[in-house]
Structure 1
Amino acid sequence: MVKQEANIRFTPCVNEREPMSMDPAEVSLLKSLSHRPLQENHLVFYHFIPSYLKKDPNQFSIGLTMFECNRIPADWTHACNQMDEIWVPSMFNYHTFIHSGVQPQKLKVMPLGVDTNTYRPGASPLNINGKRSFSFLILSSSGWDARKGYDVLLQAFAEEFGEEEDVCLIIKIRASSQEEIRQQQERVTQFVSRIAGRKRDSIIFLSSTDDWSEEKIAQLYNSVNCYVLPTRGEGWNMTVMEAMATGLPVITTNWSAHLDFINHTNGYLIDVKGYQKLNAWNTELLWAEPNKDHLRSLMRHVYMNQNEAENKGQLARETLLNSYKWSISAGRMMDRFREILS
């Protein structure tokens, strides 16, 4: 946690039906912050989707938000323009929000950060049954999300690597129930069987109903050789940041917010072969379609050139240490708060 000596009151925007499991110390801290008295001259700060932003008529009001498509939903534009400032983490969203009608003078780019002490090389690796000498990883804190490109990755891996090769793909996602875990596993098995004609033991599926601690996630990163995320769009991309901080080489799509901190020098970028609609009822919202064949070649390249990939992983960590530690991000935000209040 980064302490900047700010006096904060915490108020949830909505009451979650299924609250995220949190460390008891964090729960206690948030409860204590919910009763803090506020100074007469204070800022109102939202970190949520624009649908819930509400300008305080008496106080300077800021909204921190993001989106993963080429523009934002139409009803978000008015909500953003009612605020005094809108903070977005990336240049990608700076441009997509302006393209959607958000007033440029209201926008500030405020990059998020990563805990480079937790996510670092050297944490004890996990014991993963069936793991081979070289392993790729994809990770998501949510369930089977089309945005993350699981389908593209499974097809690329199953087509590129034979079962006899000493390489595996580890998929770590979350589920809300044991039945959902069973359904996720069945989906993976059926999808791969259609491609490869058989079940693939080299594809290792990890799903759980509990939230892993950051320390355990850091151990997972330290258990693999390369992180892969053929995402269709990101508003920021914390897992790529965490993997880079751990010193892993990263393969991800050459589009959206993470291009602020990953490039061809410190990572591997998948070509985009086109753009597709987010859904059938909103034809203006588009995200990228990563090129499956290029992903195949990048995964093979990393597997065959492990020293080069390790060097890129070291450069990736240096990028985050130099510019994206939480202390740097929090300090940038505090500087802006002080400017406003002065």
Structure 2
Amino acid sequence: MIAKVRLDMNFTNPGTIVFISAFYNRTGLAASARAWAKTLHQAGLKVRILSINDVSPGVDDIDLALLKSLEKTPLEPPITAVFFHNPSPDWLKLQLPEPHIRIMLTGFVGENIPPDWMDICNQMDHFCVMSNEERLNWLKSGANPDKISVGGGPHLWASIPIEPIHRKSSAQKDVFRFFSLGTYSPNRRWDALIEAYLKEFQNNDSVELYLRVNYPAWHPIPGKPKQDLLNLIATLRKQTGSLAKITIDESLGSRMELMATYDNADVYVSADV
């Protein structure tokens, strides 16, 4: 299922949204950032993107020309700066026209939130997490309760009406496919996704979890992230007693090949930050 945005909206001078993220790499976060920017633009909002220096070769997004054009959108106050990446002191130093607000979008999952991240987020005008469980963890770690929320935060862009477009899957009729993709790293909830799938479908041989995954090049031990993923699956299978099918696809592929994988799935599930 994909989504479109209705264009019949009458916002009252929302100004320019400056969306800061890693737009030009091959991670799930970058794909999400590109989707955010294109959706906001399609909704009729003024969007300017600012891509951090995290570029991967071979990004062939079908709307790459549009994304490049959004780097030059004029800045019209009020400015809403949305930081969709790991918290960094650089986000607090970014010079913006007045008036402006700074919103941090973070999907950090876990109870041990880095103190420096907490300090940065508390200095934002607002910051957003992806679930109430995460919100409670942030509050326990010292988050300002007046600045944290679940979802998009205090701006009209967070309430854009989204209409689902139901598409007939081209997957095998006898297999219901769940699809997820991204870089295997500790700050993503691969464990929660895989465990939930194995528990729910342990006695069902007509479903598949299809993981299209790559591994962080920065890891100091070559091959360890891949082995960690395989060990995780083996451990969770043992714990759940589940034989539900899991397929791991490590190919990068082209944009068209990736779109074909999407089309062959019935449901896309994100484990992103």
Specify the TM-score bucket, using the shorter chain as the normaliser: 0.5 to 0.7
Residue 18 (1) aligns with residue 56 (2) = yes
> Percent identity over the alignment?
20
Paired with 1:219 and 1:9, the residues of 2 have a C-alpha distance of 30
TM-score of the aligned structures, taking structure 2 as reference length: 0.55
Report the equivalent of 2:164.
Answer: 116
Per-residue Cα deviation, 1:253-305 (whole angstroms, up to 9, x for no partner)? xxxx9xxxxxxxxxxxxxxxxxxxxxxxxxxxxxxxxxxxxxxxxxxxxxxxx
Q: CA, structure 1 residues 43+24, in 2 after alignment: closer, same or farther (shift >3 Å)?
A: same
Cα distance in structure 1, aligned partners of 2:141 and 2:58: 32
Equivalent residue in structure 1 for 2:71, among 7, 18, 34: 34
Shift of 1:86: 1.2
Counting only pairs closer than 5 Å after superposition, residues 86-235 of structure 1 correspond to structure 2 as 86-110=127-151, 116-117=164-165, 120=166, 122-125=168-171, 133-134=174-175, 137=178, 139-143=180-184, 147-149=189-191, 169-175=208-214, 204-210=247-253, 215-222=259-266
- The letter of the residue matching 1:11 is L
Q: Check if 1:239 corresponds to 2:269.
A: yes
Aligned residues: 205
- CA offset at residue 38 of structure 1? 0.9
Larger radius of gyration: 1
Any conservation in 2 of the 1:168–1:204 contact (CA below 8 Å)?
no
Partner Cα distance (2:58, 2:163) in 1: 20
Q: Is this contact kept in 2: 1:144–1:173, CA < 8 A?
A: no
Deviation track 1:82-105 (CA, whole Å, cap 9, x = no partner) reads 111112232222222221112111
2: CA distance, partners of 1:171 / 1:147 = 15
CA 1:167–1:96: 2 relative to 1, 3 Å = same
Shift of 1:207: 3.1
TM-score of the aligned structures, taking structure 1 as reference length: 0.46
- The structure where helix makes up a greater share of residues is 1
- Between the aligned partners of 2:177 and 2:62, the Cα distance in structure 1 is 33
Gapped regions of structure 1 (runs ≥ 5):
228-237, 242-256, 258-342
CA distance in 2, matches of 1:67, 1:21: 25
**How far apart are 1:69 and its partner, in Å?**
0.7
- Root-mean-square deviation (Å): 4.5
Ranges in structure 2 where 5+ consecutive residues have no aligned partner: 1-38, 153-157, 217-221
Does the Cα contact within 8 Å between 2:184 and 2:190 map onto a contact in 1?
A: no
